[in-house]
């Protein structure tokens, strides 16, 4: 079932700002904190919403998780791209945009990555930073879910 | 007429207006162009109609540079030359290949592409190719369309393929031509004339049995291939202070080969058809497509020209595909497990991302989606490099001619070209929603992907340039220092692009034939 998304945008940005300093220092930790935190309850809603969206984008979850794990393994600690993608998704979802529109935005961003040479190499594969980050995000959230 | 040099009287002299040495693609193209004209032409050919081991052994030499083929197996000394075994892949050089590129040292031809255009058209006929057009739209069909790209960074190009055997195809024409005399089993052993700047006075030929004869003409053309043309000129130095044409120490230098490397893997997303890039027949003409980065990408990355074939990644299909010679490379690539587990996951991710893309790309629901993968077989230009060269050794062949040593050398610009080209292709295929690309890891011992090899296209040892300080021959393919000695073939290429050399060398030879028919009249 699709999760409720009642979180107003302001609250959401507030949540981001509240952990922003920590996130800037240790983005990977920041992500784990952000997606796994017990409270506030809205964050859980948001995590579900992001997960729901990413599951809409990726029909073959295991593949996305595998690519995401490889990306996280390679970058280790710290990817401002994952943060940025996460924030963009939340920002758009909190504006009550339809999932399809947000997914469309991600796909457009992937295209722009290739055009603008924002590429990562995973085991030789040339991937857009955004698609790798989406995979990593899915991996992180699902790991926390389980 | 075609005669056997072994049956000519010993120590005889034979006079023509033009003497062509070598009956391979260049020599036969010139002779055919002059057949039926008033120009009397003598053609000396080392071999006969069949390959014989004794004659072929004259081509033995050594390699001291990057690993290369045994020299006696990389070209054929027989009537028809290496066209007896070639694959017949043809495409004219790009306009950019003829221009000076600020980032490629010694680039720029003294001849431009428009000047060669009429000769390319004629060369097309001689090579037995289809219509003179390489526009992708001309060779597409509803089931085989070129990819639609998002930017101009990557272009689809077309090759034609017709392995015309010049020896078989043009034997009758030359045999029946009254003004042509082809002398088989006749090996050039000496350029006669001293000093050479007053012109060659003749050439001495000898059969494997030791019978000698002399050919005299108003003009002489060396058309023996890039290794042998350089060898003949360098060997002329045995009886002179300086070898003919080598006043500036350029003969034998700038040896070039097209670098062929399986540099990557392309995994198309679902519903992407790539038939355009497989060999197929269109109205009787064999064609296949390839991918080429645009000139701006090459300029930005200071890269050479290049293209990539799409070779089906399954060995069986690869063998049947556009480049049968790639079998060993495909085997090497498969043993390196290029299509690893991550590849399938990448394809799935890419398909999910691209399938719902907000931008358009080619989708084919019928026929069913192709879920294959393709090796990206790169054909890279080789930069002019004075250290990549042919030299004489102290050893001699059975006729007393010094053997050669090939030091094949290339380096950073070629490596940069492969990386740049791969990245350009990867970016554009990704941006267009067509699939994802993997870069193949370099071998630690060579610093290159497994299977890197030459394409049996030997070029550049007597390069063409306007000034003697920059090249051995001038724009008319005449040796700068000798008024009546010319060179035909790919040894005159100042740069080599990525396209197979035969069509361009035939076009240049036809242009030379035009020039020489005027020259001998004067």
Chain-wide mean pLDDT for chain A? 75
Burial category of B295 from C-beta neighbours within 10 Å (exposed 0-12, middle 13-18, buried 19 and up): middle
The yes/no answer to whether this complex scores an ipTM above 0.95 is no
Which of A67, A113, A119 faces B346 most closely, judged by CB atoms?
Answer: A67
Inter-residue contact B261 to B443 (CB < 8 Å): no
Question: What single string gives the DSSP state of each residue in A41-63?
Answer: HHHHHHHHHHHHHHHHH-SSHHH
Give the Cα separation of B248 and B462 in Å (integer).
Answer: 12
Residue of A59, A66, A104 lying closest to B342 (CB–CB): A66
List pLDDT tens digits, range B26-48: 999 999 999 999 999 999 999 99
How far is the C-alpha of B108 from the C-alpha of B167, rounded, in Å?
33
Asked if residue B264 lies in contact with residue B306, where contact means CB atoms within 8 angstroms, the answer is: no
Sorted by sequence, the CB contacts under 8 Å of residue B164 that are 6+ apart come out as B83, B88, B126, B127, B128
User: Contact A128/B340, CB-based, under 8 Å?
Assistant: no
Q: Out of A21-25, A47-51, A59-63, pick the least confident.
A: A21-25
pLDDT beyond 70 at B370: no
Contacts of B359 in chain A (CB under 8 A): 107-108, 111
Considering only the beta carbons, identify the residue of B344, B346, B431 that sits closest to A127. B346
Q: Does the pLDDT at position A64 exceed 60? A: yes
pLDDT band (50, 70, 90) for residue B341? low
Do the Cβ atoms of A114 and B346 come within 8 Å?
Answer: no
pLDDT above 60 for B303:
yes
Our CA angle for B10, B12, B14, nearest 5°, is 140
Closest CB from A115, A121, A131 relative to B353:
A131
User: Structure tokens of B107?
Assistant: 């680039």
Whether the CB-CB separation of B402 and B231 falls below 8 Å is answered with: yes
- Label residue B304 by pLDDT band (50, 70, 90): very high
Q: What is the pLDDT of residues B396-452, one digit of tens each?
A: 999 999 999 999 999 999 999 999 999 999 999 999 999 999 998 888 888 888 889
User: How far from B158 is each of B273, B285, B290, B291, B499, CA to CA, in Å?
Assistant: 17, 12, 6, 9, 10
Percent of chain B with pLDDT over 90: 79
pLDDT digits (tens, 9 = 90+) for B242-299: 999 999 999 999 999 999 998 998 988 866 788 999 999 999 999 999 999 999 999 9
Contacts of A126 in chain B (CB under 8 A): 422-423, 426-427, 430, 436-439
| Percent of chain B residues topping a pLDDT of 70 | 91
State the average pLDDT over residues A22-45: 45
**Interface contact A114-B350, CB threshold 8 A:** no
Q: Which positions 131-150 of B are in contact with A (Cβ < 8 Å)?
A: 150
DSSP per residue over B323-362, as a string? -GGGHHHHHHHHHTT-S-HHHHHHHHHHHHHHHT-SS---
Among A58, A103, A126, beta carbon nearest to B430: A126
Residue A40 has pLDDT above 50, yes or no: no
Mean pLDDT of A98-108: 88
Helix axes A27-36, A41-57, angle to 10 degrees: 100
Sign of the C-alpha dihedral, residues B464, B468, B473, B474?
Answer: positive
What is the rounded average pLDDT for all residues in chain B?
Answer: 91
Separation in Å, CA of B234 to nearest CA in chain A: 46
Q: Assign B65 a pLDDT band (cuts: 50, 70, 90).
A: very high
Report the SS3 class of residue B99.
coil
Global confidence as pTM: 0.88
Q: B203-258: per-residue pLDDT in tens?
A: 999 999 999 999 999 999 999 999 999 999 999 998 888 999 999 999 999 999 99
Give the whole-angstrom CA distance, residue B407 versus residue B385: 11
Strand, helix or coil for residue B10: coil
- Tens of pLDDT, residue by residue over B184-207, are 999 999 999 987 778 999 999 999
Mark yes or no for CB contact A59/B352 under 8 Å: yes
Nearest CA in chain A to B436: A126
Q: Which residue of A has its CA nearest to B263?
A: A124
Closest CA to B405 of B189, B191, B192, B255: B255
According to DSSP, the residues that pair with B291 across neighbouring strands are: B156, B308
User: Exposed, middle or buried, B62 (CB in 10 Å: 0-12/13-18/19+)?
Assistant: middle
For residue B141, count CB atoms less than 10 angstroms from its CB and return exposed for 0-12, middle for 13-18, buried for 19 or more.
exposed
Instruction: Tell me if B87 sits within 8 A of B163, measured CB to CB.
Output: yes
Task: Give the residue ranges of DSSP H helices in B356-453.
Answer: 412-431
| Residue B360 touches chain A, beta carbons under 8 Å | no
What are the pLDDT digits (tens) for B322-338? 444 444 554 555 444 55
What is the percentage of chain A residues whose pLDDT exceeds 70? 67
Q: Between helices B113-126 and B502-521, what is the axis angle to 10°?
A: 100
Residue B366 scores a pLDDT above 80:
no
Strand-strand pairing, B389-396 and B41-44: unpaired
Range A128-145 average pLDDT? 91
Nearest CA in chain B to A65: B345
- CB proximity B358 to A under 8 Å: yes
pLDDT above 80: residue B316: no
């Amino acid at each position: 079932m699709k999760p409720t998304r009642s979180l107003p945008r302001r609250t959401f940005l507030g949540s981001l700002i509240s952990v922003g300093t920590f996130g800037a220092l240790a983005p990977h930790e920041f992500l784990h904190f952000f997606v796994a935190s017990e409270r506030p309850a809205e964050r859980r809603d948001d995590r579900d919403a992001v997960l729901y969206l990413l599951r809409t984008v990726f029909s073959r979850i295991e593949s996305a998780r595998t690519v995401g794990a490889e990306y996280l393994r390679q970058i280790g600690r710290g990817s401002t791209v994952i943060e940025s993608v996460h924030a963009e998704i939340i920002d758009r979802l909190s504006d009550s945009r339809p999932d399809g529109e947000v997914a469309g935005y991600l796909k457009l961003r992937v295209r722009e990555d290739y055009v603008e040479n924002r590429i990562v190499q995973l085991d030789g594969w040339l991937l857009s930073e955004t698609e790798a980050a989406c995979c990593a995000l899915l991996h992180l959230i699902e790991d926390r879910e389980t | 007429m075609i005669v056997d040099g072994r049956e000519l009287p010993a120590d005889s002299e034979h006079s023509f207006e033009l003497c062509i040495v070598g009956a391979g693609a260049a020599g036969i193209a010139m002779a055919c162009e002059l057949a039926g004209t008033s120009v009397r032409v003598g053609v000396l050919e080392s071999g006969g109609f069949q390959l014989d081991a004794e004659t072929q052994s004259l081509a033995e030499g050594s390699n001291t540079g990057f690993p290369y083929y045994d020299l006696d197996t990389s070209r054929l000394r027989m009537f028809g030359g290496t066209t007896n075994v070639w694959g017949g892949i043809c495409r004219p050089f790009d306009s950019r290949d003829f221009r000076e590129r600020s980032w490629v040292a010694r680039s720029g031809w003294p001849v431009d592409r428009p000047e060669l255009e009429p000769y390319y058209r004629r060369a097309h006929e001689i090579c037995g190719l289809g219509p003179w057009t390489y526009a992708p739209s001309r060779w597409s069909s509803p089931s085989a369309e070129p990819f639609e790209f998002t930017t101009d960074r990557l272009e689809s190009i077309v090759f034609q393929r017709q392995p015309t055997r010049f020896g078989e195809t043009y034997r009758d024409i030359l045999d029946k031509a009254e003004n042509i005399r082809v002398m088989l089993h006749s090996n050039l052993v000496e350029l006669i004339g001293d000093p050479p700047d007053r012109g060659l006075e003749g050439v001495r030929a000898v059969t494997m049995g030791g019978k000698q004869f002399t050919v005299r003409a108003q003009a002489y053309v060396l058309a023996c291939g890039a290794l042998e043309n350089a060898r003949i000129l360098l060997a002329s130095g045995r009886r002179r202070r300086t070898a003919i044409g080598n006043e500036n120490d350029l003969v034998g230098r700038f040896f070039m080969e097209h670098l062929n490397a399986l540099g990557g893997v392309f995994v198309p997303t679902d519903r992407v058809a790539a038939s355009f890039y497989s060999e197929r027949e269109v109205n009787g003409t064999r064609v296949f497509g390839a991918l080429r980065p645009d000139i701006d990408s090459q300029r930005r990355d200071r890269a050479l020209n290049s293209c990539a074939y799409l070779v089906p990644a399954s060995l069986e299909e690869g063998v049947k595909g556009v480049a049968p010679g790639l079998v060993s490379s495909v085997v090497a690539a498969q043993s390196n497990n290029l299509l690893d587990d991550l590849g399938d996951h990448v394809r799935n991710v890419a398909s999910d991302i691209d399938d719902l893309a907000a931008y358009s790309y080619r989708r084919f629901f019928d026929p069913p989606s192709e879920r294959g993968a393709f090796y990206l077989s790169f054909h890279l230009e080789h930069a002019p490099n004075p250290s990549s060269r042919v030299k004489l050794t102290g050893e001699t062949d059975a006729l007393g001619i010094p053997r050669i040593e090939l030091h094949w050398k290339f380096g950073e610009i070629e490596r940069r070209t492969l990386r740049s080209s791969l990245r350009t292709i990867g970016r554009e295929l990704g941006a267009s929603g067509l699939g994802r690309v993997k870069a193949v890891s370099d071998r630690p011992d060579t610093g290159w992907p497994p299977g890197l090899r030459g394409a049996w296209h030997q070029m550049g040892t007597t390069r063409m340039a306007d000034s003697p300080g920059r090249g051995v021959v001038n724009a008319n393919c005449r040796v700068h220092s000798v008024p009546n000695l010319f060179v035909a073939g790919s040894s005159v290429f100042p740069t080599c692009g990525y396209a197979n050399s035969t069509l361009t060398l035939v076009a240049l030879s036809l242009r030379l034939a035009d020039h020489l028919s005027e020259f001998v009249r004067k």
